[in-house]
Amino acid sequence: METKTVITEFSLCKTEELNTTYQTLVSRAQEQTAKAYAPYSNFHVGAAVLLENGEIVAASNQENSAYPSGLCAERVAMMYANAQYPDVAPVAIAIAAYTQGSFLANPITPCGACRQVLLESEMRYEKDITVLLYGTDHVYLIDNIRKLLPLCFEKSSLGR
Ligand code: THU
């Protein structure tokens, strides 16, 4: 038997250390938490996608009384961006979460289903999507979605 190790690398930084484009993206994600529809979890998530033409598409989580029918903020934002701008590559996504009166100190990281959806967009446009996960203590900066989903299933896995 052989054991292999997968190492994922990311950076921790303060919001002020980000460039102005990324600071704006993070603010848009923060603002978007106020528009979440989260009556069941009270966990308000905002996501903002930066497109390569400079436009920002932002969205929030949308819950449902049939719980699994709800959708995470990053999936709503990315799918809306891809649907609305099919010819424009997404280049970054910021995510922020707000609950019980404040933003979380530590960033939340996307769920597995969202990672898979975000990966599809990265593969579709053949362009890295930088991930900015906001927390009041620090921001996680990740170079691309692939780093969030090692050993992934993707188009090439279908053997086509
Ligand atoms: N949620 C997101 O929108 N994004 C994440 O990265 C994690 C979780 C949402 C789903 C649900 O509406 C609520 O947060 C609690 O899980």
- Cα separation values, 55 from 25, 65, 154, 159, Å: 10, 33, 27, 35
Options 2, 55, 63, 74, the catalytic residue: 74
State residue 80's pLDDT score: 98
Nearest residue (by CA) to ligand 1, atom 5, is 110
Query: Quick check: pTM over 0.85?
Result: yes
- Centroid of ligand 1 to alpha carbon of 134 (angstroms): 14
Nearest residue (by CA) to ligand 1, atom 2, is 72
Point out the residues of the chain with pLDDT beneath 70: 160
Beta partners for residue 62, in sequence order: 37, 71
State residue 89's pLDDT score: 98
State residue 160's pLDDT score: 65
Percent of the chain whose pLDDT exceeds 90: 97
- Centroid of ligand 1 to alpha carbon of 114 (angstroms): 10
State residue 155's pLDDT score: 87
What tens digit of pLDDT does each residue of 78-114 get? 999 999 999 999 999 999 999 999 999 999 999 999 9
Known catalytic residue at 74: yes
Of the candidates 107, 150, 106, the one whose C-alpha atom is nearest the C-alpha of residue 131 is: 107
